Amino acid sequence: MASGNAIRGSRVGAGPMGEAERGESAPRLRLSFWCSNGHETQPSFASDAQVPDTWDCPRCGFPAGQDRENPPAPPRTEPYKTHLAYVRERRSDADGEAILAEALAKLRGEI
């Protein structure tokens, strides 16, 4: 026998969600930001919020600015350096030759 429960099949909190339940929304401001790839993003801000100078583009991740003709430059990424590249930054070729000669002399038993 079916019970006489009228709210069968619904969950707690179910029902129409409208302005009456949530209250009035804050006034919004939509601004356009452009990245160096020409993508346009239009985030919305509260009208009394401080608007940032740059915004990350959701399509490419580059920084975007409000000036369409002069967007911010993409960040420069340094390529991966090997251990040898770091050693070459610290030592000259003459230093390397001296260290190699000392190591070879040590192996030969001359030192």
Q: Which residues are annotated as a binding site?
A: 35, 39, 57, 60
Task: Please tell me the distance from the alpha carbon of residue 34 to that of residue 60, in angstroms, as a whole number.
Answer: 11
If you search the block for the tokens 């920084």, which residue do you land on? 63
Note whether 28 and 10 are within 8 A (CB).
no
Task: Give the residue numbers of the binding site for Zn(2+).
Answer: 35, 39, 57, 60
DSSP state letter for 42: -
